[in-house]
Amino acid sequence: MDNEKPIVDFSAIRDALGQDFKPVQVIDGQANVIKPEIVAKYTNDQLVDFLKLMIWERTLHQRSNALTRQGRLGFYAPTEGQEASEMGSNSAMKRTDVLMPAYRDIPQLIQHGLPVYKAFLWSRGHVLGNEYPEDLHAMPPQIIIGAQYVQAAGVALGIKKNGTADKVAYSYTGDGGTSQGDFYEGMNFAGAFQAPAVFIVQNNGYAISVPRRKQTAARTLAQKGVAAGIPSIQVDGMDFLAVHEVTKAAREYAAAGNGPVLIETLTYRFGPHTNAGDDPKRYRTKDEEQPWFDNDPLIRYRKYLTEQGVWSEDIENDYVEQVKADIKDAVKQADEAPKQKMTEFLGNVFEEQPQNIQQQITEYQAKESK
């Protein structure tokens, strides 16, 4: 009896899981064009604009890093290494789409319309940073990992119920975020309602210090969408065009009423989790980091466009100086924000003030008028 084969070969099933997910790539790490038909869809000017987006994000990162060290910014989650993943996906969206970001998605928020000085005020801890005009279709960065996913499902269902054409909700989380129940609930709700949502997982290798392999037994994070019955795809997250094209296709699919899509971008967080004391040396080695640094998303596009004769160090330097100047202005603007008042905070708890709020507004008015 012992030698008999069991009715099911679970090992074979396990080994097959996720095998069909292969990352989409357009231009590889050595700047070789893997999919010329995709590159051919874009003019060199467009490709230069894409590279500029990544350089903009890198410069914003470098300045944010420096400003944090000078104590001129507060909370900051470094984005270095994730430029193709963040800008590649975000640039495939429309301004009328609704962005539900997390705290590492500040560059996408800014590209979606958030003024840089407001992003800085958010970092410092000022309510003005979260006061978005009505035509900025986004929520402030989500701190609770996964919460933005269930809310994105609601936004997407709202878009569907309103019958708004050519509009989607899109949301970001990381590899750690895929372990949250809300990650699955968000996808599952959007799937069950066939609502137009694009869910993006930036798999940057680490949830603070916990490596991707310890988050889940799943071979890929993309395959987690399969259980929700939604099409899911893995993409080289260091390859701008690959991320952009995949996201664009996902957006079109969702906006056409087919339901949500899940995208996993394979990327890497070059720096610490946040600038609040995280030290990657505690949990990863140089040997592990180096190949990812060599795979920097900027390198391959710089190289490709330099070979095309449309990009050079001088052009880049000029552009970086311009971005830095803009950032300097934004810091200045952020410095002008007025001191926050308890009376104003109290006034923003409810629309119609109950007694406790009324009483406390009176108390703080007295304090603030001193």
Among candidate residues 124, 273, 300, 302, the one labeled active-site is 273
Among candidate residues 103, 132, 283, 319, the one labeled active-site is 283
Binding letters toward another protein, positions 166-195, x by CB under 8 A:
---x-----------xx--xx-xx--x---
Name residues whose C-beta falls within 8 Å of residue 303's C-beta, 6 or more positions apart in sequence.
31
| Interaction of residue 215 with another protein, rule CB under 8 A | no
Select 322 or 356, whichever has its Cβ closest to another protein.
Answer: 356
CB of 129 to another protein, least distance (A): 9
Considering only 13-21, 43-51, 56-64, 136-144, which stretch makes contact with another protein by CB under 8 A? 136-144
- Concerning whether 283 is annotated as a catalytic residue, the answer is yes
Binding residues for another protein, rule CB under 8 A, total 46
CB of 124 to another protein, least distance (A): 14
| Interaction of residue 342 with another protein, rule CB under 8 A | no
Identified binder of another protein from the candidate list 31, 39, 128, 320, rule CB under 8 A: 128
> What does residue 31 show for φ and ψ, rounded to 5 degrees?
70, 20
Binding letters toward another protein, positions 152-171, x by CB under 8 A:
xxxxxxxx-xx------x--
- Concerning whether 126 is annotated as a catalytic residue, the answer is no
As to burial, measured by CB atoms within 10 angstroms (0-12 exposed, 13-18 middle, 19+ buried), residue 72 is middle
Site for another protein in 73-112 (CB under 8 A): 98, 100
Identified binder of another protein from the candidate list 151, 179, 203, 295, rule CB under 8 A: 151
Identified binder of another protein from the candidate list 30, 43, 290, 348, rule CB under 8 A: 348
| Interaction of residue 336 with another protein, rule CB under 8 A | no
- Concerning whether 273 is annotated as a catalytic residue, the answer is yes
Strands 206-207 and 210-211: antiparallel
Give CA separation, 350 vs 98, 312, 354, 357, 364, in Å.
25, 54, 8, 9, 17
Site for another protein in 9-68 (CB under 8 A): none
Select 100 or 110, whichever has its Cβ closest to another protein.
Answer: 100
Cα separation, 290 vs 287, in Å, equals 6
As to burial, measured by CB atoms within 10 angstroms (0-12 exposed, 13-18 middle, 19+ buried), residue 17 is middle
Among candidate residues 269, 301, 302, 304, the one labeled active-site is 269
**Which residues make up the interface to another protein (CB under 8 A)?**
98, 100, 127-128, 130-134, 139-140, 144, 147, 149-159, 161-162, 169, 181-182, 185-186, 188-189, 192, 345, 347-352, 354-357, 359
User: What is the set of active-site residues?
Assistant: 269, 273, 283
